[in-house]
Every structure is written in structure tokens, then in C-alpha cells.
Structure 1
């Protein structure tokens, strides 16, 4: 579904990504791990069209999208779950979820992956209970659930998730894992930035290690599990 080739990115004159190449197949959950400052969030922002200083190839279903603005990429099926959760202070939970699906299926056999509102509230009962509350009055965990619910409601086919478990309790981390597994069963593909290696191996099919702005290794789940102590030490966790 996603192919990235020779992607480089800069902040001013400082180069952050260096010729990054990776692929994510339809229906996969793939994680991107690396030290703080390795360029993981910048990579997701480049894929979503939110970072201007970039050069390289980004293909979605074989279509080069690297010149498209973010809203066009969203219409094609990219969904963004930012690390700051992206809640709007002026909107209630219900208003965040009230917009109709943004992705319009196209082509033979294309499926509508948008979650109906009833399913959203069944999966996220806390959001139903707080549906009339301003989103910024929710707890950090509830705001993370709202960020996930909003992008699933949109019908996105490929979720770009930036550290969705950061700062969450073990119970909420487990719930995030359940939701990502549900999304995968529903046909959604996920590229996940994640520092929690145990969580990553529980939800993902395979992994990329980003180091100093480059893809250093591509690893299977079994390799990450066997090298967990080494990788944790490298990541400084």
C-alpha cells in the first residue's frame, strides 16, 4: 500500500532524514522504532504532507503523492494520529465525531472502511459518556481514544500513529492494542511510531529501526523479541 523511496527531509539547513526507503503492505501493522531525535515523527509528517522541506518518492497504492497537500492525502485514505492528540478546544467529543467519513472508496472492489458512529461509541464507551464535553477537558487517555476514534470514523485505509501509548496506563495501553488489532481485522493498515517494544511486538507484523535519519534495520517480530534487551539499551529506555 505504501512505498517510500530515498526520502530526505530538512529543518532549514539541518538534515533530519537521509534517503529513507520502506514499504508497508496492505493489511500490515508496521512499527518504526528509534531513539528520540532519530526522525520518526518527521517521517510521519512527511508522509502526511505536513513537512515542506522534503525530497523523495512517496507512493500510495502505486500513485506518487509526494506533491499532494495533506487534505488530498487524507481524501485518498491517509489518517493522522498525532502525538499531541490534536483535539480542538472549541469542539465537543460528539462534534469531533460528527463529520461524515472523509475517504470515498474508489476502484473495483474498494471497501468503505469508515466506522459507523454506533460502532465508535460501542468501542469507546468513555467517549459516549463524555460526548457532550469539550474535548480538551478529557483525560490524556480519553483524548488518545478520541484521536483514534476520529481517524477510524474518517474511513482512513492507512493510519499513521505517532506514539499512541505514550504516557498511558498499562490498562489503556492494552486498550489501544485491542483497537489497533480490531482496525487490522477491519482491513486497515497501520504505520506506528512506538518506543514500547513489548507493545510493538504484540500488535505489529514487523519493524524498522531508524537511526540518525536512516533505516538501519528491518526486523521480524521474532528478532525484536530475541534482541529486546539490546534494543532497549540502544533506545535508552
Structure 2
């Protein structure tokens, strides 16, 4: 579904990504693992077309065989890319339900592809959002804001989610709930690429893992490899 070929990115003269090549196949959950400053968030911004306001890029990004490298972020969204940023992007002056109703809904996946989630399905999957649907977005806890950010993207009909640190700072109970939701999203036909520092969590939801170091993909690991090298990876990540 997603193909990245020799993607490089700069902030001024500082190079953040160095010829990154990777793939995410349809129906997979894939994680990007790396130390802070390795380039993980920059990579997601490049995939969404958001890096242009920060610096220049080279290389190509393809979605379902279409080269989307030159497309603006809103055009990539119309082709099925959905972005859940690390700050969650919840609109503070809107209620939970208004946040959910704001994005346009469209079917982007073609025959058999994911469809935009109706509001009732969102509330069935995220019951706490139903309970708090009249609350302003800023009155939610961190975990509730993360669920709102995920639900809002699913409302658009996205078929590939780009998630930046969805479990950061959350309690173990909420982390487990996020895992359940990601597995349900995958079962519904949505593909996921996420940044995740929590190695224990990553192996419970992901099919494969890319290790990013100093702006380069240095390894592609399966779950068994991650488990076998858990202590080495935790030491490397400084966790």
C-alpha cells in the first residue's frame, strides 16, 4: 500500500532523513522505533506532505501504486492518508461531538476498502466519547484526547493511519485500550504505521518493525526478533 523510496529531508542545512526506503503492505500494522531525534516524526510529516513548511525533501512516496510525492496534504488525505499527530490536534473550542462531525466523510478505499465510520460506530468503539460528547475537547484526559484523535481520522474513511506516539504518557489501562482499538481498526481493513517507543506494546499490535537511527532505516525486525533482542533494544532506546 505505502512505498517510500530514498526519502531524504532537511531542516535548513541540517539533514533529518537520509535515503529512507520502506514499505507498509495493505492490512499491516508497522511500527517505527528509534531514539528521540532519530527522524521518526519528520518521516510521518513527509509522508503526509507536511514537511514543506519546515524544509525540503527528495525521494518518492507512493500510495497504492500512485506517486503522491508532489501532492498537498489535503490531496493525500483524499486518497486515504490519515494523520494522528503527537499533540493529538483536538480543537479546544469545540465539543467532542463537534470535533467528530467536523471532518468530511468519504469512501476512499474503492470496492471492498474501508469506509468512513458513522458516528454510531465511533461511539460503540469509543464509549467514553459518547459519555463526554458535550464536553469541550480540552476537558478530556490525555487518553480520551488520544481516542478522539483516532476516532476523528476514522470518520474520514482513511485507509492508512499515520500515528505518532499514540501511547505516550498514558496509563497501562488506557494503553491496553488503545491496543484493542488498533487491532479492531486493522480487522476493519485499515493499515497503520505508528511511531512507538513502548516495545512491549508494539509487539502486541504490530506485524513488523523498522528501526530508525540518525535518519536511516537500519533494520527491519519481526516480532520474534524484537522479543529475542528486547534488552538490547531497550538499552539502545534509553528506556
Task: After TM superposition, list the pairs within 5 Å mapping 1:1-237 onto structure 2.
Answer: 1-52=1-52, 53-99=56-102, 101-105=104-108, 107=110, 109-237=111-239
Q: 1:112 to 1:28 in 2, by over 3 A?
A: closer
* Cα root mean square deviation, aligned: 1.1
Query: SS where residue 155 of structure 2 aligns?
Result: helix
List 4+ stretches of structure 1 deviating above 4 A: none
Once residues 177 and 83 of structure 1 are traced to their aligned partners in structure 2, the CA distance between those partners, rounded to angstroms, is 17
Deviations 1:11-69 (A, max 9, x none): 11100000000000000000000000000000000000110121110000011101101
Q: TM-score if structure 1 supplies the norm length? A: 0.97
The size of the alignment, in residue pairs, is: 236
Structure 2 residue runs of 5 or longer lacking an equivalent are none
Once residues 73 and 215 of structure 2 are traced to their aligned partners in structure 1, the CA distance between those partners, rounded to angstroms, is 22
Give the deviation of 1:122 after TM superposition. Answer: 1.2
Q: TM-score if structure 2 supplies the norm length? A: 0.96
Q: 1:219 to 1:155 in 2, by over 3 A?
A: same
